[in-house]
Structure 1
């Protein structure tokens, strides 16, 4: 049976039509999942992240073909304020606007505090926290000009609670939550919202590799690694998916979330309810 969609139903199906989104760290994993969700909702998308030219071209072409939106790419280094400025300027020059900024770029390193490599500390703070400051400060003028903006920072459950051996990551993600609150307060009357999503463990290819590595290192099954090691703090004992995070991002970017700002929203299976 053919079902004819009414014209008025179209905005509900693609609520971000006409919008432009920039997602940092979006050539794989969580960032790519969010970029796909935004494209499916009708937004043009600017990708950013690592990868070979061929891989990135395939990703761009696939997103554009799947969802009929313009997809571009910036190779900006998230440790470089100058490169970030060039990325924001190029996005605005190309599209005339920047509506949705998703700060997702991040790296991790695990070590005891007194043995934590200084260069790793500096890199994690630069990519996980400072890059969000630079993108946000540069995006705000164009968002204010258009009287619309959505800044969505991908923080972590570690932006709300701590774990041993993750000093730089925990410090950076707590900083992201604080930055989110300040941006929300400063833009509350400008048609702009700023929120943080705080995932627990999310199933990605990197996590899959971690499962295999832990299983071999400890001589235990994959199931034990998932249940007793990785998800030890998550009461629901399941990974979040990139699709779940993408759907939440689309909601926060939509008009339906216009009154939601300054929050740090856990997506952690109950981890931070302890």
Structure 2
């Protein structure tokens, strides 16, 4: 039998790399996509070394509907079918909404919402043709709560979370098609260093910080035993509970906590980060932050 096939977006950095390597170790044929061609070739080589049946890099911006459609046409023409799609592509933008340039806001939001929409439409078209398949979308704790100075990311992830729920409802007619979400908190990836930023301070992941391999393991669990939503992060339930049950207290604490745990004291100049254009030189599987429970 041919090996199973997985398409992974955002596969050149962070959780996307860890997820690609995890599927490679299982012997999958992996189709890797992001905006960074050189990094994709590097990750493809790593996947082959890890045991992937094959590794196909395809440069794609998920905000481009035609490019996403072409990605799936190429994947199915090479492999015949697609068994799993994992959507990890995302970008961040830091800054108060009144100060954030519109192109950075729309870039971050469109990556999360339009990107998910485009990937889901192409994935589900293939899955319905096959009458089976699993779509896993990596959402975020910030798709459940709100945080100041991260409004673009929060808006995108809340919208993405809504899309996921509707997709789950709309695929109930095909029991062998599954739509799952993985919801991490802080993760040790370069996304924070690559983020657009107009706050004047360098960001870092909020505590507690998990390795990206832990998120990849949750993705694999969704494929093995699909669940609508899997949370990764020991503090996630407490934070969500506080946001929902004690909104005044939450709002009073969240801004100072962000400045204490989510931003460093290192000053930084305003930057568009990788929101508009990729910055492959900063991409990697891991960030410089260790697993930690305190700042």
TM class, shorter-length: 0.7 to 0.9
Q: Which residue pairs with 2:121 in the alignment?
A: 137
Which among 208, 211, 222 is matched to residue 241 of structure 1?
A: 211
Alignment of 1:120-131 (within 5 A): 120-131=104-115
Q: Which residue pairs with 2:198 in the alignment?
A: none
User: Partner of 1:88: helix, strand, or coil?
Assistant: helix
- The 1:40/1:78 distance shift into structure 2, 3 A limit, reads same
Which among 83, 98, 109 is matched to residue 93 of structure 2?
A: 109
Q: What is the CA-CA distance between 1:240 and the residue it aligns to?
A: 1.2
Q: Which residue pairs with 2:18 in the alignment?
A: 33
Distance in 2 (alpha carbons) for counterparts of 1:62 and 1:115: 40
In the alignment, structure 1 residue 268 sits paired with structure 2 residue 244: no
Distance in 1 (alpha carbons) for counterparts of 2:21 and 2:178: 21
In the alignment, structure 1 residue 51 sits paired with structure 2 residue 36: yes
In structure 1, stretches of 5+ residues that fail to align are 1-16, 211-216, 219-224, 232-237
Alignment of 1:1-274 (within 5 A): 18-51=3-36, 53=38, 55-190=39-174, 191-206=176-191, 230-231=206-207, 238-254=208-224, 256-257=225-226, 260-261=227-228, 263=229, 265-274=230-239
Contact persistence 1:147–1:192 (CA under 8 A) = yes
Relative to the length of structure 1, the TM-score reads: 0.78
- The 1:194/1:121 distance shift into structure 2, 3 A limit, reads same
In structure 2, stretches of 5+ residues that fail to align are 195-200, 240-295
User: Partner of 1:115: helix, strand, or coil?
Assistant: coil
Q: What is the CA-CA distance between 1:58 and the residue it aligns to?
A: 3.0
- The 1:100/1:164 distance shift into structure 2, 3 A limit, reads same
Q: What is the CA-CA distance between 1:52 and the residue it aligns to?
A: 5.0
Distance in 1 (alpha carbons) for counterparts of 2:95 and 2:46: 38
Distance in 2 (alpha carbons) for counterparts of 1:68 and 1:102: 16
Structure number with greater CO (CA < 8 Å, separation at least 6) is 2
Distance in 2 (alpha carbons) for counterparts of 1:94 and 1:48: 15
Q: Which moved more, 1:61-70 or 1:166-175?
A: 61-70
User: Partner of 1:230: helix, strand, or coil?
Assistant: coil
Contact persistence 1:41–1:250 (CA under 8 A) = no
Distance in 2 (alpha carbons) for counterparts of 1:60 and 1:30: 15
Deviations 1:224-252 (A, max 9, x none): x98xx832xxxxxx311111111111111
| Aligned residue pair count | 233
